[in-house]
Chains A and B, each alone.
Chain A
Amino acid sequence: METLNFLMQGFDVALRPTNLLVALFGAFVGTIVGLLPGLGPINGVALLLPLAFALGLPPETALILLAAVYLGCEYGGRISAILLNVPGDAAAIMTTLDGYPLARQGKAGIALSLSAVSSFTGSIIATCGVVAFAPLLAKWAVAFGPAEYFVLMVFAIACLGGMVGDKPVKTLMSALIGLGLATVGVDSTTGVYRFTFGSVSLSDGIQFVIVVIGLFSVSEVLLMLEQTHAGQQAVKASGRMLFNLKEYTQTVGTMLRSSVVGFVIGTLPGAGATIASAVTYMTEKRMAGASGRFGDGDLRGVAAPEAANNASACGSLIPMLTLGVPGSGTTAVMIGALTLYNITPGPLLFEQQPDVVWGLIASLFIGNVILLLMNIPLIGLFSRMLAVPNWVLVPAITVVSLVGVYAVHSTTFDLVLMIGLGVFGYILRKLDFPLSSLILGFVLGEMMESNLRRALSISNGDLAILWSSPITLILWALAILMLALPGLRWWRATRRRVHDKGAETQPAP
């Protein structure tokens, strides 16, 4: 009951004319950023964050803008996946598998509208999950002390290593680089200057906006030099634009299952939309068995990843709102946005800033309705955006990035630092280091250190405080489990390989 009251209050905030307008704008921009190959939700949020700050938007409005962009990207990624066979963002990779074949069969309109509804279903279910679980978790998390927080962040980083892809060492290295970048600047407890190399501009630490834009936008520009196509010809969406009832009933089970799974995966720190869409696609494929035509145009193959990636995007807001620990790269950027406004995300957010939290949650519902309404009729307009050539697109991205960074401090030093970080990010990406874990580390860095030091101040330097409470013990156990996962997978894979080899050589008497 109390929750419903708060939700009503949230709708009050979200329905204010400026906030509605901002949500509309964010949804539109987000869809476009999402559908442009190479630009994902982190880029979208990173480009708009400094502008929101420079425009002096109040915190709840800024957050609504960023959330709308985030959701919009998850909607937009599917458009290029279906029409071009190029995923608009990483989470849409699975959508290409069945989406493009459907488009080739002349069913592009059906695939697009059905995937829009799947995205909508996923987001709405996950947002309901946020409403149901976030306040509970927040209440519970208030009991967390600095030691618990520190271990929680260790767990979040261990999660990255265990869940993100097949390169745990590189992932953890990225996270460590992020944590290290966060130590630059004056140490808040003792006032000692660390890694500033005598520069006044660095004494304040490296600005969050500069790191995000440098690592994601500038490095993206450099990566785009490799694909110099001048805009691509998309498959024309012709024929029936809307799915019919039969197609809907066929896929509704898939949508619901994938939404729930996507939501659960999204709430885990580190595991984001990419993993959620892959897991649900594989599950649905296995469940369909021989009756499915997965891979050459099964509608369920479009519904599952789309429902899952939107659900996980919303689910990743739970750890961000309740614990202050990001559930994905994009929510890490949103946490950075909150700290720009001097709001510390965490369990107290629900008590201290109910307008921000509930306004954001209510705006997720509204943003989804906007996106659904926008995505079905405007699909022609959006697919035309795919034809924008790189020689217009790249300069535009560059200029907006520069303006965003310049708006924060108005110094040339920041611009140069941004380019330096961009080159660094480019090198890391070429070497296959995941940047989203770097940004997660950067966001967690300061909190992690201050919580560790606060915990040790309480215990007067005794390290035992870090594993003295049941919560910390459970979190350590989970963290160790996560770190062991890649090793376990590797062990199973080699055992299977040995087994296969044995089977091959056997039938030769």
Chain B
Amino acid sequence: MYVRLFAGIWLLACAGLAVLAWGFEAPFAYDPVGPRAYPLLLLGLMAAGALWLLVKPKGEPTPPIDWAIARKVVLCILVLLAYAFLFEPLGFVLSTALAGCTLGLLFNGRPVPSVISGVLMGVLLYVLFDVLLDVPLPLGVFRLLEN
């Protein structure tokens, strides 16, 4: 069932992208193919595949959605997004400590060990990457302390 849903959405996406791809035109011809044909070919093949899945989704019975897990997945995605957006403003150490302990909690860690592992990860990995391995990481709020 979900495969059908996905195939349907994908078919619509193919159509939308094909409209977009139709507009790719080079100001003058550099090569006989041009920038438009290849993406259109791919979209056509993909649409054919999606149609096939829509008509004939190999019939394993789909298990019902486990809502407890689905909620966790959504939470996890939100934590990851927050981590990504706070990565530069807060800096590596703080954002990693925060993300480390919330993810730890999400994966059934006990509160105190999760906090400890998050903070340790933030500090130790910063030292490892930025100081030892020379991979530049954002300092964020700690920049204020530097001056």
Question: Contacts A51-B135, A170-B53, A391-B104 known; A179 to B42 CB distance under 8 Å?
Answer: yes
Bound-complex Cα distance A85 to B33 (A): 53
Q: How many residue pairs between the two chains, A and B, have CB atoms under 8 Å in the bound complex? A: 165
Is A226 an interface position by the 8 A CB rule?
Answer: yes
Tell me if A's interface is mostly helix, strand, loop or mixed. helix
- Listed by A's residue number, 30 A-B pairs whose Cβ atoms lie within 8 Å are A51-B135, A55-B133, A169-B52, A173-B50, A177-B46, A180-B39, A187-B24, A189-B31, A192-B24, A192-B25, A192-B35, A221-B76, A222-B76, A222-B77, A226-B69, A230-B108, A389-B107, A389-B109, A394-B107, A395-B121, A402-B84, A406-B137, A410-B138, A415-B87, A423-B77, A427-B6, A449-B38, A452-B33, A456-B32, A461-B32
| Bound-complex Cα distance A431 to B17 (A) | 22
Pairs A-B, 10 closest by C-beta atoms: A391-B109, A461-B32, A415-B84, A190-B26, A187-B35, A395-B100, A391-B107, A391-B104, A173-B49, A192-B35
* Number of residues on chain B facing chain A (CB within 8 A): 64
Task: Give the residue of A56, A169, A191, A396 whose beta carbon is less than 8 angstroms from that of B53.
Answer: A169
- Complex Cα distance, B30 from A391, in Å, reads 55
Within 8 A of B (CB), among A254-300: none
The chain B residue sitting closest to A405, CB to CB, is B84
Interface presence of A11 (CB below 8 A): no
Shortest Cβ gap from A174 to chain B (Å): 10
Q: How far is the CA of A392 from the CA of B103 in the complex (A)?
A: 9
Q: Which of B51-95 contact A (CB under 8 A)?
A: 52-53, 58, 66, 69, 72-73, 76-77, 80-81, 83-85, 87-88, 92
Contact yes or no, A224 B107, CB < 8 A: yes
Q: Using Cβ atoms and an 8 Å threshold, which residues of chain A touch B131?
A: none
Bound CA span A228–B72, Å: 11
Residue A195 at the B interface, CB < 8 A? yes
Q: How far is the CA of A402 from the CA of B92 in the complex (A)?
A: 10
Q: Evaluate contact between A399 and B100: CB separation under 8 angstroms.
A: yes
A180 to B76, CA, bound (A): 28
**Pair A173/B135 contact, Cβ less than 8 Å:** no
Bound complex: CA A167 to CA B60 (Å) = 12
Interface centre among B32, B107, B133 (most CB of A within 10 A): B107
Cβ contacts under 8 Å, B92 to chain A: 403
In-complex Cβ contact of B46 among A180, A430, A460 (8 A): A180
A residues within 8 A CB of B25?
192
B140 to chain A, nearest CB (A): 12
Out of B31, B49, B113, B137, which one reaches A456, CB within 8 Å? B31
Please list the residues of chain A having a beta carbon within 8 angstroms of any beta carbon in chain B. 51, 54-56, 167, 169-170, 172-173, 176-177, 179-180, 183, 187, 189-192, 194-195, 218, 221-222, 224-226, 228, 230, 389-392, 394-396, 398-400, 402-403, 406-407, 410, 412, 415-416, 418-419, 422-423, 426-427, 430-432, 449, 452-453, 456-457, 460-461
User: How far is B121's CA from A400's CA once the two chains are assembled, in angstroms?
Assistant: 10
Residues of B within 8 A of A430 (CB): 2
Classify the interface of chain B: helix, strand, loop or mixed: helix
Verify A189–B99 contact, CB threshold 8 A: no
User: When the two chains form their complex, are residues B117 and A391 in contact, meaning their CB atoms are under 8 A apart?
Assistant: yes
Within 8 Å CB of A416, what residues of B?
A: 81, 84-85
Q: For A431, what are the chain B residues with a Cβ–Cβ distance below 8 Å?
A: 2-3, 6
Q: Looking at the assembled complex, report how far the CB atom of A480 sits from the nearest CB atom of chain B, in whole angstroms.
A: 15
- B residues 95-118 in Cβ contact with A at 8 Å: 96, 99-101, 103-109, 113-114, 117-118
- B46 and A176 form a contact (CB under 8 A): yes
- B142 lies within 8 A of chain A by Cβ: no
The reply to whether the CB of B127 lies closer than 8 angstroms to some CB of chain A is: no
Chain A nearest CB from B32 CB (Å) reads: 3
Bound form: Cα–Cα A179–B92 in Å: 34
B46 touches A228 (CB 8 A): no
| B24: A residues at CB distance < 8 A | 187, 192, 194
Can you name 5 extra interface pairs (CB under 8 A) apart from A55-B135, A194-B24, A391-B108? A170-B53, A190-B35, A195-B39, A410-B136, A423-B77
Which residues of A have CB within 8 Å of B39? 180, 183, 194-195
Give the residues in chain B near A406, CB-CB below 8 Å.
87, 137
Q: Is the CB of A399 within 8 A of B135?
A: no
- B43 within 8 Å of A (CB atoms): yes
- Residue B141 lies at the interface, judged by CB distance under 8 Å to chain A: no
Q: Does B33 contact A218, Cβ atoms closer than 8 Å?
A: no
Cβ–Cβ < 8 Å partners of B53 in chain A: 169-170, 173
Q: How far is the CB of B45 from chain A (nearest CB, A)?
A: 6
